[in-house]
Structure 1
Amino acid sequence: MASRRRRSTLLAATAAGALLTVLGSSTTATAAVRTYPIAPGITVNVRTGPGTGYSVVRVLPVGSRVPIYCQTPGTTVTGYYGTTNIWDNVSNGEFVSDAYVNSGSDGYVADRCA
């Protein structure tokens, strides 16, 4: 009986450790995503794809910050922070031109989107 109890305790501890490892990993990955401010004093369109020809799904209000999960080339846009063809994936399938995001870089600040 004691041996069975020991095995049950060991199994429960192993399962709890595995769960903590998985949760810790996803928390770490989420924490790695940084947010960046959009251009001051203006609103910015969020689109369904990396270009001006894609539909606008919402508008970011003045003073917003956006997470950048990945970046991809698209339509070239001239905006507050210059001219660029880099588009920031700010959520699942929603993009903002990097010309309106203060990412502090002339290049990619996140991995390129797959």
Structure 2
Amino acid sequence: MKFTAIATLFLATISPLAGAYPIYKADTVNCRSSPSTSGNVVKTYKKGDDIKLTCQISGETIKGNSLWGKTSDGCYVADYYIKTGSSGYVAGRCSEGGSSGGGSTGGGSTGMKDDYPYKGNCGPVDKWNYFKCQCTSFVAWRINSRLGINFHNRYKSKAWGNAKEWDEAARASGVRVDSTPKVGAVAQTNAGPFGHVAWVAKVSGNNVVVEEYNKGGTERYGTRTVPKNSFNYIHLKN
């Protein structure tokens, strides 16, 4: 009995924390204030450090992986650098308020940057079945990478084709459409021959800041601050 108790104590002292995962693939890894490289660096971990994940969330894509883990220190590390043994969730999903995934109505930001994977490579259709470098392709990318929703132009078996069809497709799919902007919502208008969609990055009073592609036929990334009544708002995540 004495040996068993001593052995158990010894194993407990050398085993990693339950639910903890080691940092790998880099000598040092930044833990940020939001799941994006635009977030402030809160703490730095070293290769081999065991970190405890409290939850996970979709954020900026790092080396093809859009998952981020929130640590017990209250900051976010890209899943690419965490050896969890899985390419998916190993912890609960984080609440999205105040994160880069959306959910804030009080001026939070999604970490605005042109991380669109097809920039400079416009032309054929993307994997969501939209033409690359169009507004619809960029927003489909944002929905997949930031909200973790498997969105495409036949989402929920409806026709999410041209941007002017998105509000109708949303309503037919049971997705809320209203005049209230929210970080992480889709800004949509029927103006023009095909309409236009953009990503709500920030809400400030009666204005919204949107990220978008192909405004005015440029096939390029841009941001604008406009009155909130410029768009309808599609809330794929309430």
Aligned 1:86-97 pairs, distance under 5 A: 86-91=67-72, 93-97=74-78
1:20-35 superposed matches below 5 A: 34-35=19-20
Q: Work out the number of aligned pairs and report it.
A: 79
For residues 91-113 of structure 1, what are the alpha-carbon distances to aligned partners after superposition, in whole Å with 9 as ceiling and x for unaligned?
25300000000000011111100
Deviation of 1:62 after TM superposition, in Å, equals 2.5
State whether residues 40 and 63 of structure 1, in contact with CA within 8 Å, keep that contact through their aligned partners in structure 2.
Answer: no
Decide whether aligned partners of structure 1 residues 105 and 84 sit closer, same or farther in structure 2, where only a CA change above 3 A counts. Answer: same
- TM-aligned CA deviation for residue 47 of structure 1: 0.3
Measured in 2, the distance between the counterparts of 1:93 and 1:57 equals 9
**Ranges in structure 1 where 5+ consecutive residues have no aligned partner:** 1-32
Deviation at 1:57, TM superposition (A): 1.2
- In proportion to residue count, which structure has more strand? 1
SS at match of 2:86: coil
- Structure scoring higher RCO (CA < 8 A, sep ≥ 6) equals 1
Of 32, 47, 62, which aligns to 1:47? 32
Residues 1-114 of structure 1 mapped to structure 2, 5 A cutoff: 34-39=19-24, 42-78=27-63, 83-91=64-72, 93-114=74-95
After superposition, what is the alpha-carbon deviation per residue over 1:16-52, rounded to whole angstroms, capped at 9, x for unaligned?
A: xxxxxxxxxxxxxxxxx60001105511101001111
Runs (4+) of structure 1 moved beyond 6 Å? Answer: none
Provide the C-alpha distance between the structure 2 equivalents of 1:40 and 1:86, rounded to a whole number of angstroms.
Answer: 16
Q: Which runs of 5+ in 2 are unaligned?
A: 1-17, 96-238
Amino acid at match of 2:42: V
More helix by share: 1
SS at the partner of 1:99? Answer: helix
